[in-house]
Amino acid sequence: METISPKLLNWASILDDKTRQQAVMTADLPFIYPHLALMPDAHLGKGATVGSVIPTLRAIIPAAVGVDIGCGMIAVRTQYSVQDLPKDRKSLREDIERVIPLSAGHNNKTVLPTAESRIAELKRRAAKAGFNPAQYVAKWELQLGSLGSGNHFIEVSADEHDSVWLFLHSGSRGIGNRIAQHHIGLARHVGRKHQAYLPDPDLAYLDEGTPQFDRYIAELRWAQHFALLNREEMMDRVTAQFSRWVGGNVRELERINCHHNFTEQETHYGKRVWVSRKGAIKAGLGDPGLIPGSMGTASYVVEGRGNPASLNSSPHGAGREYSRNAARKTFTLAELKRAMRGIEFRASEAFIDEIPAAYKPIDQVMQDAADLVTVRHKLRQLVNVKGN
């Protein structure tokens, strides 16, 4: 761990100058307490750095939560071993791609029976929160059970004992993004009228005790729950397809579901603060967590160490070294195919920006995180599903 300043602690051994400067800028805000914690996967983000833990006194920066509110991971450990699996993994990949829309949620045509109770729960929560999600997305219900694109994925993996895991990454989809963008814009508007100079307009904040703050928290919590249920819905569909493929029902030995774009109120260094984890997971003592690598590399099942300096947090993944545009200009489909050798996946130029070389080496990230989490399992990919 490196002390960059009294208000900025850094766990990233790979850190470019622009990311460092962005983190310094955020950490210098007067309401940051006690300090900003920069995770090993840190890279440049909108307003605030992705891979940072941002504790704030009586205020929240919406852009520091992230635009994919509640994005996170879910994993299920099955009773199956690699030796139990059929050899034709392509059919499983195609079945998963058939039952889960892989990009925009409007590719869902109807609400599946498995999603009905979850949508009913979300409608009740929205009514209690005093808002109608349809003001952001008219048919938001159809987005429940859709994956999205970018670094979102579905994987079948195996651990060091050859136990098979089902693993996926997704968030609150278009509805969460619309909610986030609305409140980021609102914070900017408030900032222009009432706040002192900010080094970046996306660091505009909402003050606790104001109607704008209360509205953001209510809708944020709803979107976080949408994201959690979205992962549960997709995992149920993946489990059903896996069961059909392997020829037997899945017995879930373990299920872990955790956010990495969220905020919640916690006590640190003697004060109640709002902790926004943007590209970071909660890693209190004993907390289960999931840290995926990039496409084709290892993922980790972890347990939090409860490191107080990190504000009980850990990285959420590998973290980008190349922007998407730079990756598309630098790497080729042939290189992606070589990186994915031995893994069943859909070879497409759409995924070049997800090539492992565009990310930090996950093993280095995990080495940097040694005082933040304990590794329980290291997973290798067998099947990889991505959204366009």
pLDDT of amino acid 191: 79
Query: Taking a C-beta distance cutoff of 8 angstroms, is the pair 25, 266 a contact?
Result: no
Q: Where are the domains of the chain?
A: 68-258+285-306+315-386
pLDDT of amino acid 198: 83
pLDDT of amino acid 104: 58
**Residue 106: pLDDT over 60:** no
Please state, in angstroms and rounded to a whole number, the distance separating the CA atoms of residues 193 and 207: 13
Annotated active-site residue 316? The verdict is yes
What average pLDDT does this structure show over 224-235?
Answer: 97
Structure tokens at 34: 């006690």
What fold characterizes domain 68-258+285-306+315-386? Answer: tRNA-splicing ligase RtcB (3.90.1860)
pTM to 2 decimals? 0.94
Pick the catalytic residue from 183, 225, 316, 377.
316
Q: What is the pLDDT of residues 66-85, one digit of tens each?
A: 899 999 999 999 999 999 99
CA distances, 285 to each of 18, 54, 55, 312 (Å)? 32, 19, 19, 8
Which residue type, as a one-letter code, is found at position 341?
A: R
Query: Which class for 216: exposed (0-12), middle (13-18), buried (19 or more C-beta within 10 A)?
Result: buried
**Residue 99: pLDDT over 80:** yes
Q: What is the pLDDT of residues 355-376, one digit of tens each?
A: 999 999 999 999 999 999 999 9
pLDDT of amino acid 43: 94
Q: What is the pLDDT of residues 180-210, one digit of tens each?
A: 999 999 999 887 777 667 888 899 999 999 9
pLDDT of amino acid 387: 82
- pLDDT bin (cut points 50, 70, 90) of residue 161 is very high
- Measured from the Cβ of residue 189, the count of other Cβ atoms closer than 10 Å reads 12
Closest C-alpha among 205, 216, 215 to residue 63: 205
